Amino acid sequence: MKYQGCLLAISDIAASKHFYESVLHQKVVMDIGVHVTFEGFSLQQGYAELIGTSAVIVKARPHNFQIYFETEDLDKIHAELKAVSGLQWVHEIREYPWGQRGLRIYDPDGHISEIAETMHTVITRFFSQGMPAESVAERTMFPLEIVKQFAPHSGS
């Protein structure tokens, strides 16, 4: 068995496709009308009918799941998202205890999308601030051996 990705049950395929393609810059792999596949996840309109239940039950708990993206430039993405009219925010950029910064927004059906810095970006930022590898490992909760792989070379 091989994992193929997740599927989001949505109510308006056109609005959701536009959101993920135009707002979050995701690439469409296949579009067959009521089902759109992106790289790593899919959208399905009419999901309730497929599984034999009501749309109310399918929609009842949108906060129990999120789709997650990473970027090297969170500030650029944040600025782009701020320019999107009507975008609903869960929260703007916040920094977590391990140093990673991220934001969360809602898609047109109320599903949460998180966009966060890559941990490579976080580790690089800490090194650029003069933090020693041991402190970076402690703060990020990454093993020291992994953190050292991202350490700048001193030339000695």
Whether 155 shows a pLDDT value over 80: the answer reads no
Q: Is the pLDDT of residue 85 over 50?
A: yes
Residue 148: how many other CB atoms lie within 10 Å: 14
Q: What is the pLDDT of residue 54?
A: 74
Q: Does residue 75 carry a pLDDT above 90?
A: yes
Q: What is the mean pLDDT of residues 81-108?
A: 95
As a whole number, mean pLDDT of residues 120-142 equals: 97
Domains belonging to the chain, first-starting first, are 6-117 (3.10.180.10)
Q: Does position 7 have pLDDT exceeding 60, yes or no?
A: yes
Confidence of residue 156 (pLDDT cuts 50, 70, 90): very low
Which amino acid belongs to residue 43?
Answer: L
